[in-house]
A and B are shown apart, each in its own frame.
Chain A
Amino acid sequence: MTSFLLRRLGASVLLLWLVLSAVFFIAHATPGDPSELFEDSRMTPAEQANLRRIYGLDRPLLEQYVLWLKAAVRGDWGISMVQNRPVAEILGGAVLPTFALATSALAIQLGVGFLFGVAGALRRDRPLDHVLRVLSLIFFSLPVFWLSLMAILLFAVHWPLFPAGGMWSIGAESLSPLAQARDLLWHLVLPASALGLAFSGFLARYVRSSLLEALGQEHIRMARARGISERRILGIHALRYALSPVIQFLALAIPGLLSGSLITEVVFSWPGLGRVGFEAVIGRDYPVILATTAFAAILVIAGNLAADLALAAVDPRVRDAQMSRAPA
């Protein structure tokens, strides 16, 4: 198990380095040079040169790359060119909101996805199954941003049940912790539901087909023959068998969830990573663009690693196969 873990960890670090390098070179290969931002007629050439020097833009690209990478590893992501604050501080403030949004969305996705998937598999080819399959298809064909807008239109504008955006009500700082939590949840309902529902469709299909495959296996027929109750078969034998493809699927879904939260955050003015990244892109705030993209990639890679480990824990076949394979 340890060698398996180490190998996966090594591969993840390598992948991370590749991603970071790609981000750096893509950002620097694009035509708009960040130093153009300093070509302001209100500054003297000497001041402009000084700014370039401060941001290290006067050095050769390769040197900039090495410096950036070194600093990034230490957790120093530079200083935002627009907000004039350390990037790490900006990102640090955005992590929690994104985490709150993504986990609540994931909870909704899992709930709806499993409910639909299991119900569909158990009622295979009956009316309920057809209805659920059509619903799943609609869910995953919906543009998330449109679903978000429709949620706002219906539940914030037409029936003002929930706030149309933001994370806190005005004056929430002065509330008691319990009231603050309630306020946060109240603001979370619409964005998390929009994001979670949009992504639940794919999961529902996946759960359904994995479960159907599992229910067709020999050991399930064996269990039935032994007179084990259907509920027990489903709960223990089939669901566990169906779990590993679902975990794999979830790891692949993390990039989608992050991308989805970018749009949801922009639509709902949610102060998370996606919105920080989007605003940085609009304002051409290079250090922030680099950092958010890299950070998003780190989250994805970490998610993949976690999924691999979870998979190995759930499914002994994976563990054995991974360990006996020649080092990649």
Chain B
Amino acid sequence: MKRAAMVWRKMSGTLRVGIALIGLLGAVALGAPWLAPYDPNEQLDSSAAYLKPPGTRLAAIRLAGGGWLLAESVRRTPDGLEAIRRGESSHFAASEVLNLTDEGVADSRVFRLGSDRFGRDLLSRLIYGARVSSVISLLTTVLALTLGLAVGSLAALGGGVLDGVLMRIVDALLAFPDLFLLVALAALFRPSDALVVVVLAAASWMSVARIARAQLLALKDREFVLAARGMGRGWLGIWWDHLLPNALGPILVQAALLAGSTILIEAVLSFLGLGIQPPRASWGNMIAEGQNLLSSAWWIATFPGIAICVAVISLHLVGDGLRDRFDPRLRTTAEG
């Protein structure tokens, strides 16, 4: 605990803000069932809750016949309830309503960030969307990191023809405008979460491979490596004990940036209808749903975009902070 506090104090402001924001995002993702006010897919009286602006409060009438109705306003009458639903007044007998009180009804629904065209609560969907984004981003980054490290290490340690072949493959893949490739791949296979992760990782491991290779090349002729070689250690042991720990800094920086760009690209794929499929909420497909409703319901497309920005900014802050921490001079070389 004390050690953790010390590490925290030694961090730069950038790094602290970034880590705090990511922690928040992770907490929201993990705690979604408790934090979300409603079920993200629940369509409670979708005709009355159709496209409600942020902050709308609707009275929730629990019917004796089962189910709920939402109303803009309710007024208690001597023999029951008078409700204004979608601008029209309707009357309920006291026996029809289960949650009747002296003023009206006991329950209400608040759409803090508004509702969509199915009457679903946007805030709840946004919170559940954080799950999708963080899980996909985390898995993709781990996969891309593993693949990139493997290829980069093989190229650096194998040298010669192997290095040449692997790096030409990396060049060829980097020459692809990644989105064209992603869209093509995502459309040719049946959409699924696993596909999104694999496709994203396949399009992003190259930068890790390049950095890992450059780092290992710089390290592998250093004295401490030669010493380990002289003591008879194999390359695998040296890689794990000496090369990897020393090369880790720039690779971690790249991982943070990668996690950020993954969130962006996942959102793009979902926006184009090739990523996470509705009705499951992801920030990208929420924006897609809002696209055609821009003029009538600006909030649907706006809030998920802000969430994406905050998530990506915080990952970039972590990347920047780590970069400055490991080596301030890396600022120009780590881009390549």
- The interface of chain A, by Cβ under 8 A from chain B, is 14-15, 18-19, 22, 26-27, 30-32, 137-138, 140-147, 149-150, 152-153, 157, 206, 209-210, 213, 245, 248-249, 252, 254-256, 258-260, 262-263, 266-267, 274, 277-278, 281-282, 284, 289, 292-293, 296-297, 299-301, 304, 328
Contacts and interface: CB of A to CB of B under 8 A. Distances in A.
A213 B332 contact: yes
B-side interface size class:
35 or more
Contacts of B173: 22
Contacts of A328: 164
Nearest to B164: A328
A146 B301 contact: yes
Nearest to A152: B294
A91 to B, nearest CB: 13
The 7 A-B residue pairs with the shortest CB-CB distance, nearest first, are A259-B179, A146-B305, A30-B188, A141-B312, A281-B187, A258-B177, A255-B177
29 contacts: A15-B175, A27-B188, A31-B188, A31-B190, A141-B260, A141-B264, A141-B316, A142-B309, A143-B268, A143-B305, A145-B271, A147-B305, A210-B332, A249-B335, A254-B177, A255-B174, A255-B178, A258-B180, A260-B179, A262-B179, A262-B183, A266-B272, A277-B184, A281-B184, A281-B187, A296-B177, A300-B175, A304-B175, A328-B164
A265 to B, nearest CB: 11
B332 A297 contact: no
Contact of A137 (B169, B178, B313): B313
Contacts of B309: 138, 141-143, 146
A282 B186 CA distance: 10
A137 B177 contact: no
A301 B168 CA distance: 13
Interface of B: 164, 168-169, 171-181, 183-185, 187-190, 260, 264, 267-268, 271-272, 274, 287, 290-291, 294-295, 298, 301-302, 304-305, 308-309, 312-313, 316-317, 331-332, 335-336
Contacts of B177: 254-256, 258-259, 262, 296-297, 299-300
A277 B183 CA distance: 9
A73 B165 CA distance: 24
A19 B172 contact: yes
Nearest to A213: B332
A317 B290 CA distance: 52
Nearest to A153: B294
